């Protein structure tokens, strides 16, 4: 008999990003009811039912796992608008017909403020983001599994409520141990190991390096043999060109500030699968190598530059179940208000992460109103509510940068203007997908609604193809 689906054991696996998980990712949200071609922007409310004063956010049949709940709420009847109402909203979660004890007793629910305060184990960092740290967004990312059904309900204040519930529908017959709260000692230990893995990912037991000066047009290489590359780091100007070849095939190429998830507007940050300390950009996606991997750097500028680069690797034959790593980047704008496809994949595999840098020279933050829309195997499966919502924030990140192990905004350039009032915006954002990785059997396309024709997008996606694809 196969092992039960255990989200915490999976999250503790350093190779998880390279594994295609069973099932399909789903998104239940407050999105304005419309087709993918629509441009409605009233993305609040739109609940999926009401039950004795509780509004239904998710009503799913199992087996499955809830991977993230995101909320933000606004009272526009006061000036300035009040964003604090989400703290008082009361959440209820029922799994397989059993109400969870979220801290106030079985079936009593709990307020989002209490749940994200860090004082209600296991709802602690990195599983929650409180409103003060999330730019007025509230996030609960503690995985919750169910075998037959899941119901998420909210009693909100009478204000505008925006929400997203990411969940993974697992294949029928998948063995799942339904989540129970509070967790027993063994479950708490698994939760703690998963949290440690998110905070402290491996960087490789052996390291190949280059350090020196590159003249204009000059090149340098770093190479490792069979194993799993755990970290790829480059210290140097963001305009450096870098190409990663794995087993003779190009896995990633382009400017290092783009595909190493730290664009021109990025400030220092540290996440599970990428980091930037101000000079060194590091990617930590596990990269299986059967023969050799080579990182080639080139200086496209007109002046010599100092460069340091390294590949950290765990040597040995990589497990066959791990996918083949790829990085795809696309840059550009659209003169029309339309959807623009930034990624198209065919075959079998999964999307593992996304870095986006957007520049706008006319309408400021209005580009954030574009929804992310993902097409998988013949159907639109993920239809979002706004760019900053996808990356974990809210309200155009007006409360500053935010960092989480799996998503955030690393920095922005306002060209000296006020945050909301500036017409010139440059923002750098990231999201890593682990339990919530969209899987595909035939094809996947990732689009954004283009709501501002003056915006320019630099988008890079980390993905894995099944071996042999």
Tokens encoding 254: 């382009």
In the predicted structure, residue 402 carries a pLDDT above the cut 70 = yes
362 upstream amide cis, omega within 30 of 0: no
For the chain, give the percent of residues with pLDDT over 70: 99
**Which residue has 């899987």 as its token pair?**
439
- Looking at residue 1, its pLDDT comes to 40
First to last CA, the chain: 28
For 424-445, the pLDDT digits (tens) are 889 999 999 999 999 999 999 9
Distance CA 116, CA 127 (A): 9
∠ CA 183-188-191, rounded to 5°: 115
H or E, element range at 467: none
In the predicted structure, residue 2 carries a pLDDT above the cut 70 = no
In the predicted structure, residue 337 carries a pLDDT above the cut 90 = no
- Looking at residue 380, its pLDDT comes to 94
User: Which residue did the predictor score with more confidence, 15 or 403?
Assistant: 15
* Among 157-161, 335-339, 420-424, 462-466, the range of highest mean pLDDT: 462-466
Distance CA 32, CA 349 (A): 30
Distance CA 234, CA 378 (A): 39
Q: Are 382 and 393 in contact, with CB atoms under 8 Å apart?
A: no
Query: Is the Cα torsion angle 108, 114, 119, 120 positive or negative in sign?
Result: positive
Q: Span 58-67, mean pLDDT?
A: 96
Distance CA 353, CA 274 (A): 10
122 upstream amide cis, omega within 30 of 0: yes
Distance CA 172, CA 23 (A): 9
**Which residue has 């696996």 as its token pair?**
13
Share in percent of the chain as helix, strand, coil (round to 5): 10, 45, 45
Kindly report which listed range (190-194, 361-365, 450-454) carries the lowest average pLDDT score: 361-365
Which distant-in-sequence residues (6+ apart) come within 8 Å of 185 by Cβ? none
Dihedral over alpha carbons 348, 447, 376, 30 (to 10 degrees): 140
Which distant-in-sequence residues (6+ apart) come within 8 Å of 249 by Cβ? none
What b/e sequence results for 267-300 when a residue is b if at least 16 CB atoms lie within 10 Å of its CB, and e otherwise? bebebbbbbbeeebbbbbbbbbbbeebbbbbbbe
Tokens encoding 446: 């990732």
Give phi and psi for 439, each to the nearest 5. -100, 150
Helix (H, G, I), strand (E, B) or coil at 374: strand
Supply the Cα-derived Rg of the chain in whole angstroms: 22
Distance CA 252, CA 246 (A): 9
Q: What mean pLDDT is reported for the chain? A: 94
Reported as a pLDDT band with limits 50, 70 and 90, residue 457 is very high
- Looking at residue 9, its pLDDT comes to 95
Dihedral over alpha carbons 335, 337, 343, 344 (to 10 degrees): -110
Q: Are 318 and 437 in contact, with CB atoms under 8 Å apart?
A: no
Reported as a pLDDT band with limits 50, 70 and 90, residue 80 is confident
CA atoms within 13 A on the CB side of 327: 25
**Which residue has 């893995």 as its token pair?**
197
Query: Is the Cα torsion angle 125, 128, 130, 131 positive or negative in sign?
Result: positive
- Looking at residue 378, its pLDDT comes to 94
80 upstream amide cis, omega within 30 of 0: yes
Distances (CA, A) of 417 to 412, 422, 451: 12, 5, 22
The distance of Cα 138 from the centroid of its chain, to the nearest Å, equals: 15
Distance CA 268, CA 282 (A): 11
Stated pTM of the model: 0.95
What b/e sequence results for 419-449 when a residue is b if at least 16 CB atoms lie within 10 Å of its CB, and e otherwise? beebeebbbbbbbbbbbbbbbbeeebbbbbb
Q: Span 443-460, mean pLDDT?
A: 93
Helix (H, G, I), strand (E, B) or coil at 368: helix
What b/e sequence results for 136-148 when a residue is b if at least 16 CB atoms lie within 10 Å of its CB, and e otherwise? bbbbbbbbbbbbe
């Amino acid at each position: 008999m196969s092992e039960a689906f255990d989200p915490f054991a999976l999250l503790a696996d350093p190779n998880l990003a390279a594994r295609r998980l069973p099932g399909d990712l789903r998104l239940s949200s407050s999105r304005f009811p419309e087709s993918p071609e629509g441009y409605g922007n009233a993305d609040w409310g739109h609940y999926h039912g009401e039950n004795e004063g509780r509004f239904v956010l998710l009503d799913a049949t199992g087996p499955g796992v809830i991977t993230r709940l995101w909320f933000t709420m606004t009272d526009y009847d006061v000036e300035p608008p009040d964003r604090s109402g989400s703290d008082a909203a009361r959440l209820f979660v029922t799994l397989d017909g059993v109400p969870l004890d979220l801290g106030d007793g079985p079936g009593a629910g709990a307020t989002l403020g209490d749940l994200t305060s860090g004082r209600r184990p296991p709802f602690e960092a990195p599983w929650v983001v409180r409103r003060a740290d999330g730019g007025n967004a509230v996030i609960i990312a503690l995985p919750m599994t169910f075998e037959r059904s899941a119901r998420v309900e909210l009693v909100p204040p009478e204000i505008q409520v925006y929400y997203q519930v990411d969940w993974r529908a697992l294949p029928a017959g998948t063995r799942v141990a339904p989540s129970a709260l509070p967790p027993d000692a063994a479950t708490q230990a698994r939760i703690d190991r998963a949290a440690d893995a998110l905070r402290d990912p491996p960087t490789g037991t052996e390291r190949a390096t280059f350090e020196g000066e590159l003249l204009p047009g000059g090149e340098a290489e770093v190479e490792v043999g069979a194993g799993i590359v755990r970290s790829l780091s480059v210290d140097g100007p963001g305009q450096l060109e870098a190409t990663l070849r794995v087993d003779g095939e190009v896995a990633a190429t382009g400017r290092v500030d783009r595909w190493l998830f730290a664009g021109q507007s990025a400030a220092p940050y540290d996440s599970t699968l990428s980091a930037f300390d101000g000079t060194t950009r590091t990617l930590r996606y596990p990269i299986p190598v059967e023969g050799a991997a080579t990182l080639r750097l080139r200086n496209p500028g007109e002046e010599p530059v100092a460069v340091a680069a390294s590949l950290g690797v765990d040597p040995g034959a990589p497990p066959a179940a791990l996918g083949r790593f790829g990085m795809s980047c696309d840059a550009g704008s659209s003169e029309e208000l339309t959807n623009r496809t930034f990624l198209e994949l065919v075959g079998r595999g999964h999307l593992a992460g996304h870095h986006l840098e957007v520049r706008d020279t006319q309408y400021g933050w209005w580009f954030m109103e574009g929804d992310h829309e993902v097409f998988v195997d013949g159907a639109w499966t993920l239809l979002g509510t706004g760019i900053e919502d996808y990356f974990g924030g809210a309200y155009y990140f007006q409360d500053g940068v935010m960092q989480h192990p799996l998503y955030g905004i690393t920095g922005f350039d306002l060209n000296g203007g006020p945050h909301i009032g500036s017409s010139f915006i440059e923002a750098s954002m990231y999201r890593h997908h682990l339990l919530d990785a969209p899987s595909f059997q035939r094809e996947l396309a990732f689009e954004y609604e283009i709501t501002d024709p003056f915006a320019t997008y630099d988008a890079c996606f980390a993905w894995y193809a099944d071996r042999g694809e």
